Structure 1
């Protein structure tokens, strides 16, 4: 891969965190998609950003970076809830990776070509869209994306064990439902956050409260447990069967992987291997951060993304001959 660097200090990109944005539902392929949009405080420059959440997450997971990203990029930023997650309800419609990939494609057809940012499963979906519809993805930012283990046939036992129950199509939904009922919404959210964040004290308490409220609301969605199980099961199959090929195909747009150093859910080794094996992929490692940098270090994530997007055009057009993959480490966040 060509070495591409940017000059601006990511810590210079610090905006106002926590603006809840404007709810703006989208009607896409017969589905009422819950969406939230943040508009820049100044003039726009023609760019647009689409945010795609991970497994079990929703638009709230993007709230800390929505407004800062819109302001620093001078671009509208839209976050959506995938089918079966958040407040996008479509009983009877699959919540599989392929189905939600088609949904994201249809959203982009409506919004127009965009910078696509995906976290975890959302990153995997973004890769699939970019491989199939490169005309809709101007740049791809993968935040702790779910990627296959770099060594074929190697199973990450600890991570796989967490999702093993959902691999059985007939039992996955009931298992998820029973577990959720046993835990209750507060414990369910806190358990998820314990896996996703390296330091939970960095999360805005008000955002945690609203995540719990949404989790409680979703107990009244009978389709929710089955949707989670289907998404998890098909994600694991996609990781095993086709994602590496799709990442190699998604080479019409530059790709940035931003990965927390202390991710307990997806392997940093996989991100390093993806950057080493694909010339169009760069990797930025965030010290001291877990699986969801947008919740744990929103200012740092916005800074890294903005600096890379500002510099990518000239860098993309002028690769360094014979260079190899580079990994950057961002500066640690200031003590709070």
Structure 2
């Protein structure tokens, strides 16, 4: 059984990621004398001071994510955010001081972003952010790049994680795992096939979307709010970006959608994305050995899933 990472191991992983980012930044011509970690959970985010550049280095990754597949995802994020920034959408843009492409060094794959000073005085307003998410969707509709259908659902990760969890009763009990596996049999076909999704939800349009809850990924900069963290950018229904947010947030999004001339949220699609999102939570339990603190974050979500109807009320 895989042991949980110790605090010493996590500290070493963070230090190695920072060293890799500093070395890569210097190789790219940046002056880096005072690196500072801004965030450390799934990724290490480090300001390569005094350069106005932030490096983001994913460190806690699914078992099936290699450097090449990670770099492919990172390039999509860089492409989308550069395109949005060029058109005036408020995003944290890729740094203009280095090539806009992922850099691999010392076993890490990293991206480089423009440093933005954070406004630390206020608390996030997630209801307001949900309305702003409709502005982002309106901007993304014209994105010309190719994106895979619901890649942010990570179906391979979910399927393989459910198999791995058979050997981890310390992370999830057999009854819950059996339920999750049966739910996945219902939901997986609609996640993995655009044609299957469109057959069940005819008339629900698909478009480029953020992929990872934009209401929770709006950065409060001193000069205004900026959309951030497009690591899971994908093609899908807009409901995916509002999964599991609740009625008040859904109503706020609908106000923003109407203001932008977009359709409002479809209740049946919300049931689907909420159910898939819960199974991604179950799959994420496999990351707990890499990041033990994650277990406490996931417990409330798992309890919520246990109280939900089977597969969100879908029967296949």
Superposition TM-score, scaled by structure 2 size: 0.29
Larger Rg: 2
Greater RCO, CA 8 A, separation 6+: 1
Superposition TM-score, scaled by structure 1 size: 0.28
